[in-house]
Chains A and B, each alone.
Chain A
Amino acid sequence: MNQQSGCGCHGNQPDEDSALKKMVMVGNPNVGKSALFNRLTGSYVVVSNYPGTTVEVSCGKCRIGVEEFQVEDTPGMYSLLPITEEERVSRDILLAGDAELVLHVVDAKNLKRMLSFTLQLVEAGLPVLLVLNMIDEAKQLKIDIDTRLLEEKLGIPVVAISALSGQGVDTLKEKITAYRPAQSTLELFYGEAVDAALNALAPLMPAARGLSQRTLALLLIQGDTAITAEERELEGRSSDYLDTTLVQLEEQLEESASYRIPMILHQNALKICAETFTPPLNRGKSFANRLSEWSMRPLTGIPILLLVLYFGLYKFVGEFGAGTIVDFLEADLFGEYISPWINNFLMTYIPWQPIRDLLGMDYGIITLGIRYAIAIILPIVGTFFIAFSIIEDSGYLPRLALLVDRVFKKIGLNGRAVIPMTLGFGCDTMATMVTRTLETKRERIIATLLLALAIPCSAQLGVILGMVAEKPGAMAVWAGFMLFIFLFIGFLTARLMPGDRPNFYMEVPPLRMPRPGAVFMKTYTRMQWYFVEILPLFILASVLIWLGKITATFDVVVSWLGHVMGWIGLPKEAAVAFLFGFFRRDYGAAGLFDLQQAGALSGNQLAVAVITLTLFVPCIAQFLIMKKERGLKMASAIALFIFPFAFVIGGLVNALLNVTGIEL
């Protein structure tokens, strides 16, 4: 999720900024593009230690000397030939061709591998400046890079920086100001056959695009479907000619073009690196390396996971956030001071009962909406985001991904889906956006469904943990059931929906010590985003409930829902909480929390209530994002499935507990 992405960088809409020079940052995932973006623009986008954090293009402005630039941060991509949807987004920006400067950001220690992409960019005729990021890490490994010689070999400016510490950023700014497009373009020789095909095809390619005609032809040869489709549409005349040329080329080549071309690029990159990149003689094993190994083996990895869950989620979010802080804010601050004071004030100065009810009393904006938001949700979500930021900055998530890959394959996903899924425990709405990083439509649909159904968001989770903390039995039943439903529904959906099973592959970044400043910044921006989104909804919910009350529809709906409650064995009062749940998952959970604190729920009822509520409809915001990402039809289908399913399962659990005579 990307907090700064609201500025609409997609497309070429004319706006006041169009006069500014445009600077685009591209590069492999997890090389620190977002960190550099923050450095340059002084704004903040989420940076983390795993690939694929940025799924949307973020924009910002940056003043260097007297000139002002519009900077765009793009999702990571490995080469000009996109594999996933977000790589395509990045490539299309380059294709659009209005960038005055392209910053290719690479991880300095992995220059050898990433230089191929630089060569591609230079060959495409783009105005490239190579940024060797994380130079401090490379130096620590005793890697020596000759930037001057590199500049000479590539014919473009090269700067070594560390975006996190700020080292070298001033030099980068100088080079940006001094940048002049290169006079001649580099052209690599891919062998006679490819060359002949390039000469035949390049003139047919659309001119005046961001990428040179030769590069477009190269992509076409490698089977880039987007380019092929576009080309066919553009010129009806030549599709036969195109096909024959491609077939001819294929016959002449010993290996496929999509193998040969990267191979030649790689050989050229190696040749350049041989002179400019000096690796150290030997490498020792640090503690981080050992810890990293432990986290990847099931025998040690699962205990580590349990430790992370126990301390990160249970102790910190559950006990500290949902316990200590909520108790203080809820009972002491609101219960003792604010709510009584507001109610007194209203009773004394406001003579109209409806206005009193709107602001205070049982369901008022302040006594319910704001109280929920500040006293219950804020501490829980806050502690969750702190824990999550620490975990993601440490680089633990990709390690988790490789541990669960085998299990996730059974439910039609692969290890990659761990990132949206864990993020879902923070906010399902954010997570639904991140499902974009998954490779196939099938995976995206399954992930969206599971997020909506079985992954409780942090607020909900925190409240639920707070409620069941005293009843371990209810907690076990809840956790077990949710896991079962997650796997079972995933398994069924995977069976029902045929399709490709994409391979699991993921970069495993080094374990890094999270920096407090970064963790704070990340938590702060996420909280800010969260609050801007939820507070209005909480207030709206209070107003709607108030409206419902004075028109008596609220009571009708509650009494109707009350029947459903009775059927699944819950007290009638729980109906109100479920009604709240329509507005936000956490709002509903907070309502239940109230009820439980009042001692109105038995152990069994608690288990049934939390299971039903966890499964219950996605909140409004999540539904809207589902609609945006998957389309109205799919979003409605998912919601329509979940609604009855939640209650049926609730009833089932209740019946099961009753039949077996278990008292939790």
Chain B
Amino acid sequence: MKNNEQLEEALEKLWIYLEEKPQLGNTSEQFFRRELQLPLERLVQEGLIRVTDGTLCLTPAGKTEAALAIRRHRLSERLFHDIIETDQGDDMEAAACQVEHIVKKGIEEKICRLLGHPETCPHGKPIPPGDCCRKARESKEKFVAPLTSLKPGECGTIAYIKTGDSKKLQKLMVMGVLPGNNIELNASFPSFVFSVDYSQYAVDADMAVAIIVKRGGA
């Protein structure tokens, strides 16, 4: 168990340095020996990395595993940030680090669906898409998403309001933005314009992103 966690953490680091930020040039064996908390030999043994001339790279199998690990980590962050509303920062990070290691394949997909197949973590870094994301995109599956990701003319039902700021919540609620109400996005630039009932409102992106909508419907 403990071993597994270390392995996953290592894969995440490898993913960041080798796949996301190769421009940093931190690809040397030396560097990773210092960075990682487990011997590189073990990773080689498991067939996850290759070392050639002192430079590291992920094997195809390693890439898949690393992508999954990073996906679980960032999905967990999203979960804490969006649903549980942990403060962005240390709390969220710590909680995510714990949870990511116990998330198994089936649960990971469920979390992903609940979150509306998010594409980025709360820090804005990309979440590698899973099978469920691809399928959802193909079948245009109904899922919840912030109002900002709807297309003008698209309708939906308000699922919940995502904000820790009570002023913002109050403003949205008095506009009739309440779970269960139908909502239609009319325009998305330069401001978000939406209709609820017979009223039309304009809000900025910051407020629109707090309105989580179940897509589809009249």
> What size tier do the contact residues of chain B reach?
20 to 34
B199 within 8 A of A: yes
Inter-subunit contact A256/B166 (CB<8 Å)? yes
Inter-subunit contact A508/B173 (CB<8 Å)? no
Q: Tell me the bound Cα distance from A406 to B191 in angstroms.
A: 8
Q: From residue A80, how far is it (CB to closest CB) to chain B in Å?
A: 11
Partner of A259, one of B169, B175, B199: B169
Report chain A residues within 8 Å CB of B202. Answer: 296, 398, 401-402, 405, 415, 504-506, 508
Q: Mark A255-270, 1 if CB is under 8 A from B, else 0.
A: 0101100110010000
Report chain B residues within 8 Å CB of A495. Answer: none
Report chain B residues within 8 Å CB of A113. Answer: 175-176, 196-197, 199
Inter-subunit contact A81/B170 (CB<8 Å)? yes
Interface class of chain A by DSSP: helix
Inter-subunit contact A296/B186 (CB<8 Å)? yes
Q: From residue B210, how far is it (CB to closest CB) to chain A in Å?
A: 9
B206 within 8 A of A: yes
Inter-subunit contact A223/B204 (CB<8 Å)? no
A471 within 8 A of B: no
Q: Tell me the bound Cα distance from A193 to B129 in angstroms.
A: 42
List the A residue with the shortest CB-CB distance to B161. A259
Q: From residue B147, how far is it (CB to closest CB) to chain A in Å?
A: 13
A297 within 8 A of B: yes
In the complex with contacts A296-B187, A297-B187, A507-B201 CB distance below 8 A: yes
A110 within 8 A of B: yes
| CB interface residues, A 103-118, toward B, < 8 Å | 107, 109-110, 112-113
Inter-subunit contact A505/B201 (CB<8 Å)? yes
Report chain B residues within 8 Å CB of A298. Answer: 189-190
Inter-subunit contact B190/A505 (CB<8 Å)? no
Q: Mark A605-626, 1 if CB is under 8 A from B, else 0.
A: 0000000000000000000000
> What size tier do the contact residues of chain A reach?
35 or more
List the A residue with the shortest CB-CB distance to B192. A402
| CB interface residues, A 58-113, toward B, < 8 Å | 78-79, 81, 83, 107, 109-110, 112-113
A403 within 8 A of B: yes
Inter-subunit contact A405/B199 (CB<8 Å)? no
Inter-subunit contact A414/B198 (CB<8 Å)? no
Partner of A504, one of B169, B199, B204: B204
Q: Tell me the bound Cα distance from A79 to B187 in angstroms.
A: 27
Q: From residue A221, how far is it (CB to closest CB) to chain B in Å?
A: 12
Q: From residue A269, how far is it (CB to closest CB) to chain B in Å?
A: 10
List the B residue with the shortest CB-CB distance to A259. B169
Q: From residue A409, how far is it (CB to closest CB) to chain B in Å?
A: 7
B151 within 8 A of A: no
A503 within 8 A of B: yes
Q: From residue B217, how far is it (CB to closest CB) to chain A in Å?
A: 14
B137 within 8 A of A: no
Partner of B169, one of A78, A258, A293, A507: A258
List the A residue with the shortest CB-CB distance to B190. A406
Inter-subunit contact A507/B200 (CB<8 Å)? yes
Report chain A residues within 8 Å CB of B1. Answer: none
Interface centre among A401, A503, A509 (most CB of B within 10 A): A503
Q: From residue B66, how far is it (CB to closest CB) to chain A in Å?
A: 37
Q: Tell me the bound Cα distance from A421 to B126 in angstroms.
A: 41
| CB interface residues, B 138-176, toward A, < 8 Å | 161, 166-176
In the complex with contacts A223-B166, A263-B178, A298-B189, A409-B204 CB distance below 8 A: yes
B203 within 8 A of A: yes
Q: Tell me the bound Cα distance from A516 to B204 in angstroms.
A: 34
Q: From residue A257, how far is it (CB to closest CB) to chain B in Å?
A: 9
Q: Tell me the bound Cα distance from A110 to B176 in angstroms.
A: 10
Report chain B residues within 8 Å CB of A540. Answer: none
Q: Tell me the bound Cα distance from A61 to B169 in angstroms.
A: 38
Inter-subunit contact A508/B203 (CB<8 Å)? no
A274 within 8 A of B: no
Inter-subunit contact A83/B191 (CB<8 Å)? no
Q: From residue B192, how far is it (CB to closest CB) to chain A in Å?
A: 9
Q: Tell me the bound Cα distance from A556 to B175 in angstroms.
A: 60
- Count A-B pairs with CB separation below 8 Å: 108
Report chain A residues within 8 Å CB of B189. Answer: 297-298
Q: From residue B194, how far is it (CB to closest CB) to chain A in Å?
A: 10
A632 within 8 A of B: no
A247 within 8 A of B: no
Inter-subunit contact A505/B200 (CB<8 Å)? no
Q: Mark A23-56, 1 if CB is under 8 A from B, else 0.
A: 0000000000000000000000000000000000
A141 within 8 A of B: yes
Report chain B residues within 8 Å CB of A509. Answer: 200
Inter-subunit contact A258/B207 (CB<8 Å)? no
Q: Mark A500-533, 1 if CB is under 8 A from B, else 0.
A: 0001111111100000000000000000000000
Q: Mark A391-431, 1 if CB is under 8 A from B, else 0.
A: 00000001001111110010000110000000000000000
Q: Mark A114-127, 1 if CB is under 8 A from B, else 0.
A: 00000000000000
In the complex with contacts A113-B199, A141-B198, A223-B166, A405-B178 CB distance below 8 A: no
Interface centre among A107, A112, A256, A409 (most CB of B within 10 A): A112
Q: Tell me the bound Cα distance from A297 to B200 in angstroms.
A: 15
Inter-subunit contact A503/B171 (CB<8 Å)? yes
Inter-subunit contact A504/B178 (CB<8 Å)? no
B103 within 8 A of A: no
Q: From residue A51, how far is it (CB to closest CB) to chain B in Å?
A: 10
Q: Tell me the bound Cα distance from A404 to B186 in angstroms.
A: 17
Inter-subunit contact B186/A505 (CB<8 Å)? no
Inter-subunit contact A110/B187 (CB<8 Å)? no
Inter-subunit contact B191/A405 (CB<8 Å)? yes
| CB interface residues, B 25-55, toward A, < 8 Å | none
In the complex with contacts A503-B203, A507-B200, A258-B166 CB distance below 8 A: yes
Inter-subunit contact B187/A109 (CB<8 Å)? no
Q: From residue B209, how far is it (CB to closest CB) to chain A in Å?
A: 11
B193 within 8 A of A: yes
Q: Tell me the bound Cα distance from A402 to B187 in angstroms.
A: 10
Report chain A residues within 8 Å CB of B201. Answer: 505-508
Q: From residue B53, how far is it (CB to closest CB) to chain A in Å?
A: 51
Q: Tell me the bound Cα distance from A382 to B7 in angstroms.
A: 77
Q: Tell me the bound Cα distance from A580 to B169 in angstroms.
A: 50
Q: Tell me the bound Cα distance from A645 to B38 in angstroms.
A: 66
Q: From residue B172, how far is it (CB to closest CB) to chain A in Å?
A: 8
List the A residue with the shortest CB-CB distance to B179. A263
Inter-subunit contact B200/A259 (CB<8 Å)? no
Interface centre among B171, B172, B198 (most CB of A within 10 A): B198
Q: From residue B87, how far is it (CB to closest CB) to chain A in Å?
A: 15
Inter-subunit contact A266/B178 (CB<8 Å)? yes
Q: Tell me the bound Cα distance from A510 to B197 in angstroms.
A: 13
Q: Tell me the bound Cα distance from A266 to B172 in angstroms.
A: 13
Partner of B203, one of A110, A296, A505: A505
| CB interface residues, A 235-294, toward B, < 8 Å | 256, 258-259, 262-263, 266, 292-293
Report chain A residues within 8 Å CB of B171. Answer: 83, 503, 505
26 contacts between A and B (CB under 8 A): A79-B170, A79-B174, A109-B197, A110-B198, A112-B176, A113-B197, A256-B169, A258-B166, A258-B170, A262-B178, A266-B178, A402-B191, A403-B191, A404-B190, A406-B190, A406-B191, A415-B191, A415-B204, A503-B168, A503-B204, A503-B206, A504-B203, A504-B204, A505-B204, A507-B199, A508-B201
- The list of the 6 closest CB pairs from A to B, nearest first, reads A78-B174, A402-B202, A402-B191, A113-B176, A504-B204, A508-B200
Other than the given A110-B199, A293-B186, A506-B201, 11 more pairs (CB < 8 A) read A83-B167, A109-B198, A113-B176, A256-B166, A259-B161, A263-B178, A402-B190, A415-B191, A504-B202, A504-B207, A505-B204
Interface set of B (CB-CB < 8 Å, partner A): 161, 166-176, 178-179, 186-187, 189-191, 193, 196-204, 206-207
